[in-house]
Amino acid sequence: MASFLRHYSSSIPSPSSPSSPLADIRVPSFFLPTSSQATWLYTTLAIVAALLVLEQSVYRYKKKHLPGATWTIPIIGKFADSMKPTMEGYMAQWNSGALSVVSVFNMRVTFIVMASSNQYSRKILNSPTHAEPCLVHSAKSILMPDNWVFLTGKIHVEYRRVLNTLFTRKALSIYISIQDAITRNHLNQWLKDAAKDSSPKSIMKTARALNMQTSLRVFCGNHIPEEGAAEISQKYWDITRALELVNFPLALPGTKVYKAIQARKAAFKWLEMAAAKSKIAVAEGAEPECMLEQWVKELQAPGYKGRKDFSDREMAMVIFSFLFASQDAMSSGLIYGFQHLADQPEILAKIREEQYRVRGNDIDKPLTLELLDEMPYLKAFVKESMRVKPPVTMVPYRTTKPFPITPDYTVPASSMVIPSFYNSLHDPQVYPDHDSLIPERWLDSNSSANTNPQNYLVFGSGPHKCVGLEYAQLNIALVLATASVLTNWEHQITPESDKVQIIATLFPKDGCLLKFTPRPKP
């Protein structure tokens, strides 16, 4: 046996033998790199490793002791989670601490500090010298970087001084007749459409169409022709899609941001024209019949003290920002209002009783501010509906310099800080049975809800608090009030029905399916 093995082994050709066939086999160079290639390979690997270590080190240095992932996913961080945000994910983040940390695309300025408590959320909202609104990454590209919503300091104060005059009781009394007439036309059209097809339909597009026409006529009157209003309405959806939480940031042809910029340009053409026509109308002695005319009139008032030289473009930018709010946040609030009333018929019955009593059973009587003043239950419902399902759960800010948010933690400059509204609006200490819709909590002046106004962050807080909050609540109340006496509606429950959108541009989408039918006159 041993001799056989010696014979067998001696017959195997050695790879180093000149006569061996294996000696002619060439080994690819990438298996046996040359000295130069090996040097480049090892250098590249060393650089990549060093960058990854640096990335993690920077993240840990910024994070310090705050709750958050100990290590972040290399390069992309939490990008995958941000593509499909869920309320459950955000609740887990909020529950980890009053302040917590997350990172998206680690080597960029996307280090994020999230505030879940009312204390820190309000501190962010009320610290204009340390943080400014940024909404989402593409917001400034779409809304324009010099739009008043992004301004701070004296110039922002000057804007708000005049914009506040556009939402006084006097101004709202001008708008309400427009709102009432358009609402009735749309509700009648909804009933006609339902008569042709009685199956439940998504209310999202119908609510947005109602709000768009109302907003354009309230803001611009008849200074925008029908073809202009139709173009803005048709293209505005591109703007909403581009203002999602995460989007491809560059405005390359075909991208959402590019389409949104084109839509903004189309809208600006009409809005600037409306501003110019409003100035002409007021100069010729016309009394204000829309917001733009009211703006021009206020600038001419003897008692007005402030900036008076607003260009057509600047006025167009302001109206454009109001369109954004009315199309996204206000539409969302209206949709949930319909859904809440359908799901809780006992509340709808109380609203109807109030409507018939205040209107004297005359459901054709146009609503006025004076009539709405006599509808406290309706107002309480609108306020409570937006508390339970806030149209906006958070508004991202960006730090302009190091922000000492607590005695032992400073948010780095150019970081994102995100105050949460949802937690303040669902604080069980302020709102007992906080997940339930209870309008009565607002009817008692001594209730914990009314004695803790700092928790009601539906419209934000501080210098950037929503300037049109009275108009928004008025419009939702008016639509629901008129719908309650003209129509009946049923809600078809879907898996999307109870979901809360993360920011204004994430709607309940097609989850709210309603079936409308006419309501007999009393």
Q: Which residues are annotated as a binding site for heme?
A: 466
Name all contacts of 107-110 with Cβ < 8 Å and 24+ positions apart: 107/51, 107/55, 107/75, 109/398, 109/414, 109/415, 109/416, 110/77, 110/416
**Interhelix angle 204-220/256-283, nearest 10 degrees:** 30
Q: What is each CA distance from 468 to 93, 167, 171, 367, in whole angstroms?
A: 31, 6, 11, 19
Helix and strand element counts for the chain (H, E): 19, 10
The residue assigned the tokens 């000492």 is 404
Cα separation, 20 vs 339, in Å, equals: 84
> What's the token pair of residue 315?
């006025």
| Nearest residue to 395 (alpha-carbon basis) of 135, 96, 212, 185 | 135
Cα separation, 489 vs 499, in Å, equals: 20
Name residues whose C-beta falls within 8 Å of residue 363's C-beta, 6 or more positions apart in sequence: 355, 356, 485, 486, 521, 522
Q: What is the distance between the terminal CA atoms of the chain, rounded to a whole angstrom?
A: 113
The residue assigned the tokens 């609104």 is 133
Cα separation, 288 vs 272, in Å, equals: 18
Alpha helices in 301-361 (DSSP H): 312-327, 329-343, 345-359
Give the up-direction half-sphere exposure of residue 315: CA atoms within 13 A in the CB hemisphere: 28
Q: Annotated binding residues, as ranges? A: 466
Indicate the SS3 state at residue 205.
Answer: helix
Cα separation, 353 vs 349, in Å, equals: 6
